[in-house]
Each structure stands twice: as C-alpha cells, then as structure tokens.
Amino acid sequence: MAGVSESDRESTVDEVLGGSDLSSRVFVVTGSSSGLGEESARGLSARGAHVAMAARDPVKNAEAVERIRASVPDADLSIHELDLADLSSVARFAERAAGSLDRVDVLINNAGVMCCGEGRTADGFETQFGTNHLGHFALTLRLMPLLRRSESPRVVTLSSGGHRIADVDLADPNFEATPYDGWIAYGRSKSANAHFAAELARRCGGGLLSFSVHPGAIVTQLGRHLTPELIDELMARARASASGQGGGSGAGLRFKSVEAGAATQVWAATAPDLGAHNGQYLADCGPTAPGPGDRGHEPWIDDAATAGQLWELSERLVGLSFSDS
C-alpha cells in the first residue's frame, strides 16, 4: 500500500492502492455500472484483481466495462445482472456466482438509491430500506459460502453521513404507520448499513472483516432522484447538523471527486492490519469516533442491541438465516 495519510480526505483510489498486487484476489462490487462502483472496479482490476461487476442494468454495466478497459486493457472483469430491489434476482446472482467463482475474497456492497419517491421493492419493502439494506443483507448471506472459502474474507458496505438523519425504526421499517419522508428513509437505510456491518463482524467472531464506509459527498448517479427542493433540504439538514455538533452555522457538505470518494471503500477492502477496526464505520481512509464532521458518527450506530434486533428482523423479512449460510 502507498503511504497515504489516514486524515487525507482527498486520497484517491490509485493513491490508496499504490503498487499493490491483487492478482490472486476475487472481488464482487455491486452498483458497478457507474460512479464509485465503476471507479472501484477500475482501480482493483488495474492491480490484477478479478472483479465481478454486478449491476441492475446489463447494458450500462457493459458500457462501464468498456470504459475501464480503455484505461486497463487487460482488466479481468466479469459482468453480472443483479437487482437488489428483487430478492429473486439476488438469489439468481448468488447461484450464478457459485457456479462461476471458486471463492469471493471481498464483497463491496456499493450500490444504493437515495431519497427516491415513496415506493416498494418487488418484495413489498420500502424502496430505500429494501434496496440499500435488505438487498445487500440477503446478498451477503447468500455469498457466505464463497466468502468462507477465502483465507481472509472481507465485506465492505457503503453507509453515508446521511445516517445522521435518522436511526433505524424497527417497529415501522416500511413506513406503514408513519408518513413517508425520503430523507428520513435514506437516513434509516444508511444507519441500517452501519448496524449490519457491525453485527456481521460480531457474528463472524473475527473470521471475517466487515466495515461500513462513509464515502463523502460526491456527485454521482446516486443523486438522480434529487430535485432542487430536495437538494436545498439536504443542505439545510447538513448545516443544521454541523451547527448542532459545533461545526458552525455555515458548515455543511464538502464534495469530493469520484476518485477520492471511492478511496475509502477500496482502502477498507485491501489495506492490511485493519483487524482492530473490525465492524467500525470508516471515513477518509481511517476509523471514526462518535462526534462531528466526516470523521465522526452518531453514537446510535454503535448500539449493539439495535444492531442485533435489526439482524433478527432482517432474517425474518428476507427469509434467510445466517446460521444456515
């Protein structure tokens, strides 16, 4: 690994990976057809890794492969269709992966949706909770047999500073009893991602490294549902949050490039000696602590009881058991 300072928020994927040799490693990256997923796949494949690129739209995924191979001609990539808003698609992907991959060293749960209109997944879950959390929860459990074949498996799940908006609602995860709010739904799903990563680490007992990641604010296709009004609301929330945490009323979102935004998830996926941070929420290529700013997080994502209860709820909702995976 290159000598990147943990406090350098502008570190890029290429700086994080440096001259790493990943030629014997197998990665699965969801949401690989654009943005952070595509950049992660590019950087990893440039160091010799095989990257299974999983995305909902096979045409856009193929176009991403072409863009990567324009700069990495010998990139070892495979294209896979995966719709995280449909548990039957998750099951089909996992079945195909079991037939084409001998193991998975690292799963990067990168895909997601943000502040979309009220809707339901194919299985009836609120769209953001169902896609961002339950889809990746089911995917991870279904890929556990392949992950267990790795000598040092890892799962990296994208959370967000948006977790500050709201913790999970275990009593009403699908907004069946409360009015729908797109930003609150997003915040709940991002808190769920952090809880999931922490609980996965606990349940694996050190046999697998699991992290959640705040990539920073980046302009990608994730924001395709945002209207000017929703953006203004987000900026107001960011300013209010920063002020409440001692950041000053003028503080708010600071944007990164895609290359810098993907760096933390790639760092979490490849950096050595991260065992001491197993289960933690990471940002700017380093650990975080409860408190303000991008290197801080809300203390609720450290609540082990909530994480355990969310895990049990998620198993019931998706019809899968970790003990059987």
Query: How far apart are alpha carbons 164 and 151 in whole angstroms?
Result: 35
Nearest alpha-carbon partner for 216 in 269, 168, 158, 130 = 158
Query: How far apart are alpha carbons 164 and 69 in whole angstroms?
Result: 38
Query: How far apart are alpha carbons 23 and 231 in whole angstroms?
Result: 41
Confidence (pLDDT) at 79:
97
Nearest alpha-carbon partner for 158 in 187, 184, 132 = 132
Give the percent of the chain with pLDDT over 90. Answer: 81
Q: Show the DSSP H helices in the chain as ranges.
A: 13-17, 35-46, 58-71, 87-100, 127-128, 136-147, 182-204, 228-244, 258-261, 263-270, 304-318
Rounded to an integer, the average pLDDT of 51-74 is 98
Confidence of residue 10 (pLDDT cuts 50, 70, 90): confident
203 phi and psi, to 5 degrees? Answer: -70, -25
**How does pLDDT run across 250-272, given as a tens digit for each residue?**
345 577 899 999 999 999 999 99
* Contact indicator for 81, 111 with CB cutoff of 8 Å: no
* Contact indicator for 213, 195 with CB cutoff of 8 Å: no
> Above 90 in pLDDT, residue 182?
yes
Confidence (pLDDT) at 216:
85
C-alpha separations of 29 from 35, 179, 241, 285 in Å: 12, 33, 31, 18
- CA 112 to chain centroid: 8
DSSP 177-233: SS---HHHHHHHHHHHHHHHHHHHHHHHTTSSEEEEEE--EE-SGGGTT--HHHHHH
Q: List own/partner pairs for 165-169 with CB under 8 A and 24 or more apart.
A: 165/190, 165/237, 166/191, 167/191, 167/298, 167/300, 167/301, 167/306, 168/192, 168/195, 168/306, 168/310
Sign of CA dihedral 211, 212, 214, 218: positive
CB proximity list for 252: less than 8 A, separation 6 or greater: 235, 238, 239, 242
Nearest alpha-carbon partner for 145 in 135, 137, 153 = 153
Q: What is the mean pLDDT of the chain?
A: 90
Confidence of residue 249 (pLDDT cuts 50, 70, 90): very low
| Of the listed ranges 52-61, 66-75, 165-174, 217-226, the one predicted with least confidence | 217-226
The C-alpha torsion from 126 through 129 and 134 to 137, rounded to 10°, is 180
| Of the listed ranges 118-122, 158-162, 214-218, 284-288, the one predicted with least confidence | 214-218
The helix (H) or strand (E) run that includes residue 296 is strand 296-297
Identify the CATH assignment for 13-223+258-319 out of 3.30.565.10, 3.30.365.10, 3.40.50.720, 3.40.50.300: 3.40.50.720
Query: How far apart are alpha carbons 245 and 232 in whole angstroms?
Result: 20
**How does pLDDT run across 88-121, given as a tens digit for each residue?**
999 999 999 999 999 999 999 999 999 999 999 9
**How does pLDDT run across 185-217, given as a tens digit for each residue?**
999 999 999 999 999 999 999 999 999 999 987
Is the model's pTM score more than 0.85? Answer: yes
Confidence of residue 248 (pLDDT cuts 50, 70, 90): very low
Confidence (pLDDT) at 6:
47
Q: 137, 186, 211, 311: which one is catalytic?
A: 186
Task: Report helix, strand or coil for 317.
Answer: helix
Q: Side chain identity at 269, as an amino acid letter?
A: A
Query: How far apart are alpha carbons 140 and 146 in whole angstroms?
Result: 10
Query: How far apart are alpha carbons 106 and 268 in whole angstroms?
Result: 10
**Is 281 a known active-site residue?**
no
Confidence (pLDDT) at 293:
85
Both structure tokens of 145: 């047999």
